[in-house]
Structure 1
Amino acid sequence: MKLAHLPLRLSIGAYFLNSGLGKRNLEGDAAESMHGMAVAAIPQLAELEPSRFAKLLSYSEIAMGAALIAPFFPAPLAGLGLTAFGAGLVQLYLKTPGLREPGSVRPTQQGAGLAKDIWLVGAGLTLVLEGLTHGRRRH
């Protein structure tokens, strides 16, 4: 892990680990609510039971957090995962009614929490692009 990546990877990785660990035992109304919101943005997720969806989300967040924190995990690969995860959250934000001002991408009060997830896409793309350009000489 490059020293310059350390703050980014540790802070986001710890956030993901905490979020994933907090969802490990999510069931009932909480799992149904989370699942319902995800299905509204990605209809294919309706095939999963809410408790199964919550478990898979939990495991995914734990794995993403661990990959970001692990110094041996390649930055571009961690960046791809982070970009995909962030893109899914941005899709959720864009497709869920009431989270945006009418005719705009600006968040409503209810959407502010999800709108900020665009930073995950930016951080992920930074890791990917830095990995792709690392070591190239400029002429």
Structure 2
Amino acid sequence: MRIFARPHQIPPRVAAGVFILNSGIGKAEADEQTATGTHGMAVGTYPFLGKHDPRTFTDLLSKAEVALGVALLAPMVPSLVAGAALTAFAGGLIGLYLKTPGMRQEGSLKPTPAGLGLAKDVWLLGIGLGLVLEELGDRVASPYRGQ
């Protein structure tokens, strides 16, 4: 596994990392109403999250976003690891977009005005998948390189 990010991987990692880190820091300061809204939206798509109270859920989400943001920003975190974490996180966001009523136009993947904020998270999925596929592709193409 490559230890440092390659130079061309740094710009998308920084773009995603700064965005997610900022989101996590913002959630750390969330008031009760914001925590309840964040939790309610998540539970609507992922009912198993209902066992957490809104404040605990939002605190955990905040910590996860901060950790992911830092991992993306730290070039010593392997791109395969950072990309896999970003892909999983973005997959959850895309799940919210696809499963939450009112986010998409009826019978379409096109976002409604309310869904635009979640639909744009597809770029996070693209960055994560790009990092993972590049790193895995190198392993397939040259399994003995770097040994």
Specify the TM-score bucket, using the shorter chain as the normaliser: over 0.9
Letter in 1 for 2:17: G
Partner of 1:77: 81
* Percentage identity across paired residues of the two chains: 48
**Unpaired runs of 5+ in structure 2?**
143-147
Cross-structure match for 2:26? 22
CA distance in 2, matches of 1:49, 1:12: 28
Q: CA deviation at 1:132?
A: 0.8
Q: What is the CA distance between 1:25 and its match in structure 2?
A: 2.5
Q: Which amino acid aligns with 2:14?
A: L
CA RMSD of aligned residues (A): 1.0
Partner of 2:106: 102
| CA deviation string 1:87-124 (max 9, x = no partner) | 00000011111111111111111111101111111110
CA shift, 1:134, in A, is 2.1
1:12 alignment partner in structure 2: 16
Aligned length: 137
Q: TM-score, normalised by structure 1?
A: 0.95
> Could you tell me which residue of structure 1 aligns to residue 63 of structure 2?
59
What is aligned with 2:39? 35
SS at match of 1:26: coil
Give TM-score, length-normalised by structure 2.
Answer: 0.90
Q: Secondary structure at the match of 2:28?
A: coil
Please list every run of at least 4 consecutive aligned residues from structure 1 whose deviation after the TM superposition is greater than 4 angstroms.
Answer: none
Q: Tell me which residue corresponds to 2:145.
A: none
CA contact (8 A) 1:93 1:115 kept: yes
